[in-house]
Amino acid sequence: MSEFGKRGIRVVAVSVDPVEVRRMFGEKAGLTFPLLSDPEEKVIRPYDVLHIRGGPKGVNIARPAEFLIDPTSAVR
């Protein structure tokens, strides 16, 4: 993470989980970067990483993915 910071890169994760679930997961996993909630899938869908019914009990989840987005909002 420090190497990303040295290069001016911010790491942010997005989950379909509600805020409380996301908060508990981030704390339990010891994440040191922001983990955002997108339960309405407004960000996850446009990036085409939604795994429909891919989670426990058939709930929608976000597929693991990494995107580098530059200051002009271009995906690199």
Domain ranges of the chain: 2-62
Instruction: Tell me the CATH architecture of domain 2-62.
Output: 3-Layer(aba) Sandwich (3.40)
**8 Å CB contact between 65 and 75:** no
Write down the pTM of the prediction.
0.74
| pLDDT over threshold 80, residue 76 | no
Q: How confident is the model at residue 1 (pLDDT cuts 50, 70, 90)?
A: confident
**8 Å CB contact between 50 and 62:** yes
Contacts (Cβ under 8 Å, ≥6 apart) of 11: 1, 4, 33, 34
pLDDT, residue 72, reads 85
**8 Å CB contact between 35 and 15:** yes
User: Could you report the per-residue pLDDT of 7-57, keeping only the tens digit for each?
Assistant: 888 888 999 999 999 999 999 999 999 999 999 999 999 999 999 999 999
pLDDT, residue 3, reads 87
pLDDT, residue 68, reads 83
